[in-house]
Amino acid sequence: MQPMIWLAALILFSVGEAATVGLTFIWFAVGSLGALIVSGLGFGFWPQIIVFILLSAVSMVLIRPIARKVLKPGYSATNADRVIGTTGLVTEAIDNIEGKGQVNLSGQVWSARSGQAGGVIPAGQEVRVVQIQGVKVIVEPVSEHPDTSNQSE
């Protein structure tokens, strides 16, 4: 292959990588660069193809795991995620059918829905957040009388 074809492939893969920014085409750009060099040295078609395939595969296998660790953003909990598992007080009765309900969680008022089948929790009831759906917390009542049947007397 002519060096111009490998140069075009190198440019195409580099532009593709810049457009996706997902470590998708960079491996083929490395292979194209190697094949461009081999082509410039006067080697034939098969050595160029072999260098392209080998460099692409080797760079993917060796560099990809390291690059993914370095470039992968870590997950950090948002304020919303931190309320899961917390307890709060129902300030407006929760009724899933009417689509009403509010809960005070650490001084913040959230729209709330019940996670129970009945879907009604009266105002003043202590609840625990089990999940978040959009901008609403899904809650269930905190048991007022813990189960003591498993404790020996």
pLDDT of residue 53: 96
Helix extents (H) in the chain: 3-20, 26-40, 45-71, 79-82
Per-residue pLDDT tens for 68-121?
777 766 656 666 677 888 999 999 999 988 889 999 998 889 999 998 877 789
Q: Return the sign of the alpha-carbon dihedral for residues 150, 122, 100, 128.
A: negative
- The neighbour count for residue 135, using CB atoms within 10 Å, is 8
Which amino acid is present at 47? P
Tell me the percentage of the chain whose pLDDT exceeds 70: 86
For 79-141, the fitting CATH number among 2.40.50.140, 3.40.190.10, 2.60.200.20, 2.40.110.20 is 2.40.50.140
pLDDT of residue 50: 95
- Residue 47, pLDDT above cutoff 80: yes
pLDDT category at 145 given cuts 50, 70, 90 is: low
Diameter of the chain by CA atoms?
A: 90
Question: What pTM value is reported for the model?
Answer: 0.47
Q: Report the alpha-carbon distance of residue 136 to residue 110 in Å, rounded.
A: 6
pLDDT category at 63 given cuts 50, 70, 90 is: confident
Q: For the chain, what is the mean pLDDT?
A: 85
